[in-house]
Structure 1
Amino acid sequence: MNQSSLWKKAVEVEWDDQAEVWDKRAMNMWENGSRKDIIPFFKKHVNKRSRILDVGCGSGYGTITLYDAGYKIDGVDISSKMISLANRRLHDRKITFFQYDVNDISLLDKKYGAVLAINVLEWTNTPSQALNELGEILEKNGLLCVGILGPTAGPRAHGFRHVYGENVIINRMMPWEFNQLAEESGFSLVDHFGVYKKEVNETVVNHLSLNLKQALSFMWVFMLRKS
């Protein structure tokens, strides 16, 4: 098994193990926590005529929230347990949830007007490859909303053992690096915003340069357009 396959399997196992805990936290995260501004931001830029794909949909809370807001949407996650939990939420909603790794997403053989991928690329072995896959499923001029964990995000601790030469399943790409990657991959920046921990004084942060803002962030959210 090559490095990419080992990474993929380790990520799948990790999120299968975390699925129940994630599901219990999902509502608060999307309604009151670090993701509370993402859906309003998404709705600001993406019209409801677009077909949407939620990549890294987890147990489906964000996917279903967008469906209930009037979007036509599908969901994808690497974890079979997450997909099972998402399907339990469906009831009569017309959403299809697929189990796919982001690096294989073009195998869906579908095109979407917009893609949502929050905290997905951090868990890939080669973010450039994953970003290219997301571009493959976007229609021309389609929109891609990506959230990248900043330096202050707790999940970054998963990468610490890298300093001892151990294998880890989260890469070290920071928001400012993703911004450059997106530009080099043919995406144009439409809009963006930062998410901070409550201890950060945003009035002070607003006077800082973009790189310093991102250096203090829990997450940075980008809206990109495919050229």
Structure 2
Amino acid sequence: MDESQELEFTGERFTPECVREMAYEHWHRYAWATPLCKGKRVLDAACGEGYGSQLLSSSAEHVIGVDLSEAAISHARSKYRASNLEFHAADVTRLPLPDDSVDVVVSFETLEHLSAQDEMLAEFRRVLRQDGCLLISSPDRKTYSDEREYDNPFHVRELYRDEFEALLARHFPAYRLFGQKLMFVSALWDLARGGEAIVHTDHGGRVEHSETPPFPPLYFLALAGASVEQLPELPSVSLYSDAQESVYEHYNDEIRKHIRAGQLLAERDAEIERLRALLEQAG
């Protein structure tokens, strides 16, 4: 991998130089998808800078990254080089691939950037093998935009949950829906083995216990295929962090700064009082 150059961050697409919260959201999706792609032929549709394609190629048999941006593809070809990884500039509604040619289609943070959403999903279905599957994400318009009164200038058409599910159902007879949201949590786990997850949520002293977080997701992710029987199993809960625990470290660093600022203010106030007392004595 050539680390010598960076793709300019414009806000339209994620780049690996972005850190903390935004990085967690984007890297988590690809980390979640990587085990499912093991030994598979994979299409990363709207691959952008190429970081996700590169991660998928660590387990996949072969990965094809496709993006509309010539600049992004040129960058990806230069930065990410592997025998099982290739990049092509193309429209996701007109893929340069034959029918039934890939096992997995991955397309994260793509849907909302175009209006031809049915055409895109039809193309995904065309290039997927009969037993293949699609992993796709979409921001929930209700929580992402409406409730936050936020307007992302790069989003062409965001979907509510029922619209997203209706779109999926028109092209894939079977799908399973997942939610994604950044949360500040305490993790507790069995050091000897894995197992089921349980979420404890404090409502001002009353603790609620559930199998999934009781918060509305900011993003939906779907696993879709030709039949329920052909959908691979995925963990019901997936957690992501980085080895440096960058979000938590940043939080701790900010807390330390606030504490130090409080100490400096207290020292300043004490000095002002001392000087005021001296002035009063002198007067």
| Aligned residue in 1 for 2:181 | 196
Alpha-carbon spacing, 1:53–1:70, altered in 2? closer, same or farther (3 Å)? closer
Q: Deviations over 1:82-135 (max 9, x none)?
A: 111211222344311011111112x42251011000011111212112111111
Say whether the 8 Å CA contact 2:138–2:158 is kept in structure 1: no
- 1:146-161 map, 5 Å: 146-151=136-141, 152-153=143-144, 157-158=151-152
The answer for unaligned runs of 5 or more in structure 1 is 1-14, 160-167
Structure 1 equivalent of residue 15 of structure 2: 23
In 1, the alpha carbon distance for the partners of 2:126 and 2:163 equals 21
TM-score, normalization by structure 1: 0.71
Length, aligned pairs only: 198
Write the deviation string for residues 9-31 of structure 1: whole angstroms up to 9, x where unpaired.
Answer: xxxxxx9983897324467678x
SS of 1:22's partner is coil
Pick aligned residue for 1:39 from 25, 30, 41: 30
1:176 aligns with 2:162: yes
| Per-residue Cα deviation, 1:164-215 (whole angstroms, up to 9, x for no partner) | xxxx8510323332112212323311x4321114379x755986999x95xx
Residue in 2 that maps onto 1:165: none
Report the Cα distance in structure 2 between the residues aligned to 1:114 and 1:21, rounded to whole angstroms: 22
Q: Which residue type is aligned with residue 218 of structure 1?
A: L
Number of the residue aligned with 1:77: 67
Q: How far apart are residue 77 of structure 1 and its match?
A: 0.6
One-letter code of the match for 1:158?
N
Question: Which letter maps to 1:222?
Answer: A
**Aligned with 1:173: secondary structure?**
coil
Structure with greater contact order relative to length (CA < 8 Å, sep ≥ 6): 1
The residue that corresponds to 2:54 in the other structure is 64
Secondary structure of the corresponding residue to residue 39 of structure 2:
coil
The structure where helix makes up a greater share of residues is 1
- CA distance change for structure 1 residues 186 and 22 in 2, over 3 Å: closer, same or farther? closer
Q: Is the 8 A contact 2:61 2:84 kept in 1?
A: no
| Cα 1:149–1:184 shift into 2, 3 Å | same
Verify the 8 A CA contact 2:42 2:60 in the aligned structure 1: no
The sequence identity of aligned pairs, in percent, is 19
Contact 2:140 2:158 in 1 (8 A): no
Deviation at 1:57, TM superposition (A): 0.5
Hey, what's the Cα distance between the residues in 2 that align with 1:98 and 1:28? 29
2:106 is equivalent to residue 116 of structure 1: yes
Q: Which residue is 2:280 aligned to?
A: none
Which runs of no fewer than 5 residues in structure 2 stay unpaired?
1-6, 186-198, 202-207, 228-283
